Structure 1
Amino acid sequence: MFAGNAYSAYKNNSVNFASKEQLLLMILDGAVKFSKIARQGIEEKNIKKAHENIVKTQNIFYELMATLDVDKGGDWAPRLMSIYEFIVNRLMMANVKKDVAIMDEVIPLIEEIRDTWNEAYKLSKIR
């Protein structure tokens, strides 16, 4: 019981005191996790598990799209928006078709986005 409460307190504090860059990485870690759970749900023919986790992943990307400032982001921002839109659309198709192959296409993209932001975060800490 105590270990569960301690972990919960640690988790809350890590979110409450995280920088916006760290929060972005946490969110993207969640997208990777939820997309993999969704893929597993499709494999297991667990429709509810697949659907709920695809929707969680989509919601993360909808939030990323809503907070991306395309006007101030320079040349890369519209490209990033296009990638986010592509991922959301492919997730929608994976959800409709319950297709593992589509998830196998999208998960590496999500991981690459997370890894790219993680690298950018590391580089920003050096400066």
Structure 2
Amino acid sequence: MFSNPRTAYMDASVATASPARLLVMLCERLVLDVTRGRNAQAEGDHAEAHRQLVHAQEIVLELRMSLDVDAWDGGPALASIYDFLYSELIRANVAKDLARTESCLQIVTDLGATWREAALQVVTAQTVA
């Protein structure tokens, strides 16, 4: 018996997701965290902004650590983007810098869109094959 149906659903979704879908899910959560952090900063709720931006930093670290930079030509460039994003999220959080957080939000939004498109291409290629 599940104590929280939402948690059970999320656990099942993660457990059964393909690697491409997991990556997209992480990026979606990253966008959500940075959006929530930006909104909290704009409202002056620095404790909530800190919580959201720290979680976003953890996701970026996970993305960076799971990246095999030697697997493809763009690996080192993507690693640099993750490293930059991680540093900027820390700076945005420490300085309570709304403009920097908004810049990070643009990066993670673009990154998420790129990973969604890549995942769609993988699914399409698998369907054709």
Task: Provide structure 1 residue ranges, at least 5 long, that are not aligned to the other structure.
Answer: none
Alignment match, 2:111? 113
- Cα-to-partner distance string for 1:82-108 (whole Å, 9 max, x where unaligned): 111111111111011101100111101
- Cα-to-partner distance string for 1:54-112 (whole Å, 9 max, x where unaligned): 1100110111111111122x220000001111111111110111011001111011011
Aligned length: 124
C-alpha distance 6-59 of structure 1, shift in aligned 2 (>3 A): closer
Counterpart Cα distance in 1 of 2:5 and 2:56: 28
Alignment match, 1:32? 31
Alignment match, 2:40? 41
SS at match of 1:71: coil
> How much is the aligned-residue C-alpha RMSD, in angstroms?
1.6
SS at match of 2:48: helix
C-alpha distance 7-92 of structure 1, shift in aligned 2 (>3 A): closer
Counterpart code for 1:23: L
Report percent identity of matched pairs. 34
Counterpart Cα distance in 2 of 1:69 and 1:10: 30
Task: Provide structure 2 residue ranges, at least 5 long, that are not aligned to the other structure.
Answer: none
SS at match of 1:57: helix
The normalised TM-score by structure 2 is 0.89
Counterpart Cα distance in 1 of 2:90 and 2:7: 32
How do 1:1-127 and structure 2 match up within 5 A?
A: 5-72=4-71, 74-127=72-125
Please say which of residues 61-70 and 10-19 is displaced more in the overlay: 10-19
Counterpart Cα distance in 2 of 1:71 and 1:36: 31
The normalised TM-score by structure 1 is 0.90
